[in-house]
Amino acid sequence: MDLICLSHIRWDFVYQRPQHLLNRFAVNNRVFVIEEPVFEAHSDFYEISKPNEKANLWLVVLHVSKNNSAEKRNHILKALIDSLMFSNKIEKYLLWYYSPMALEYTDHLFPALTVYDCMDELSAFKSPPEGIKEMEACLLSRADIVFTGGHSLYKAKKHLHHNIHSFPSSIDKSHFGVAKVFKEDPEDQSDIQHPRFGFYGVIDERFNISLVDKLATLRPDWHFVFIGPVTKIDRNSLPKKDNIHYLGSKNYKELPFYLAGWDVAILPFALNESTKFISPTKTPEYLAGGKPVISTSITDVVTPYGNQGLVHIADTAEEFIEEAEKIFQSKNNEEWSRKVDDFLSNTSWNKTWHKMSSLIDTALEKKAIINNNKRKVYV
Identify whether residues 226 and 242 lie together within a single domain.
Answer: yes
Nearest to 146 by CA among 123, 56, 156, 26: 156
- pLDDT exceeds cutoff 80 at 373: no
Dihedral of CA atoms 115, 368, 141, 132 in degrees, nearest 10, equals: 30
Quote the number of domains for the chain. 2
Identify whether residues 185 and 282 lie together within a single domain.
Answer: yes
State pLDDT tens for residues 320-360: 999 999 999 986 688 999 999 999 998 999 999 999 999 99
Compute how many other C-beta atoms are within 10 angstroms of the C-beta atom of residue 40: 9
State pLDDT tens for residues 203-250: 999 999 999 999 999 999 999 999 999 999 999 999 999 999 999 999
- pLDDT exceeds cutoff 70 at 377: no
Name the least confident of 77-91, 120-134, 211-225.
Answer: 120-134
Per-residue pLDDT band for 375 (boundaries 50, 70, 90) equals low
Identify whether residues 131 and 11 lie together within a single domain.
Answer: yes
Length of the chain: 379
Provide CB contacts within 8 A for 199, sequence distance 6+.
224, 225, 226, 227, 228, 265, 266, 267, 268, 282
State pLDDT tens for residues 139-177: 999 999 999 999 999 999 999 999 999 999 899 999 999
| Terminal CA-CA length for the chain | 28
Q: Give the separation between CA 95 and CA 75, rounded to whole angstroms.
A: 19
Alpha carbon distances (Å) from 164 to 99, 146, 155, 167: 17, 5, 10, 10
Is the peptide bond preceding residue 268 cis, with omega within 30 degrees of 0?
no
**Type of residue found at 133:** K
- At 74, which CATH number? 3.40.50.2000
Identify whether residues 103 and 242 lie together within a single domain.
Answer: no
Identify whether residues 12 and 106 lie together within a single domain.
Answer: yes
DSSP string for 228-292? S-B-SS-GGGS---TTEEEEE---GGGHHHHHTT-SEEEE-B--SGGGTT---THHHHHHHTT--
Q: Give the separation between CA 279 and CA 10, rounded to whole angstroms.
A: 20
Average the pLDDT over 174-183 and give the result: 95
Identify whether residues 66 and 215 lie together within a single domain.
Answer: no
Identify whether residues 213 and 312 lie together within a single domain.
Answer: yes
Identify any residues that bridge with 166 across adjacent strands, giving them in sequence order.
Answer: 148
Element (H, E) at 58: strand 57-65
- pLDDT exceeds cutoff 80 at 374: no
Upper half-sphere CA count for residue 148 (Cβ side, 13 Å): 23
Average the pLDDT over 188-194 and give the result: 97
Identify whether residues 312 and 359 lie together within a single domain.
Answer: no
Compute how many other C-beta atoms are within 10 angstroms of the C-beta atom of residue 366: 14
Name the least confident of 42-56, 192-206, 284-298.
Answer: 42-56
Identify whether residues 151 and 201 lie together within a single domain.
Answer: no
Predicted pLDDT of residue 66: 84
Predicted pLDDT of residue 378: 56
Identify whether residues 39 and 124 lie together within a single domain.
Answer: yes
Per-residue pLDDT band for 370 (boundaries 50, 70, 90) equals confident
Supply the range of the domain harboring residue 82. Answer: 2-170+349-378
Predicted pLDDT of residue 117: 98
Identify whether residues 218 and 177 lie together within a single domain.
Answer: yes
Phi/psi at 226 (5° precision)? -125, 125
Mean pLDDT of the chain: 94
Average the pLDDT over 298-327 and give the result: 97
Predicted pLDDT of residue 371: 78
State pLDDT tens for residues 238-282: 999 999 999 999 999 999 999 999 999 999 999 999 999 999 999
- pLDDT exceeds cutoff 80 at 379: no
Give the pairing type, strands 244-248 and 164-166.
Answer: unpaired
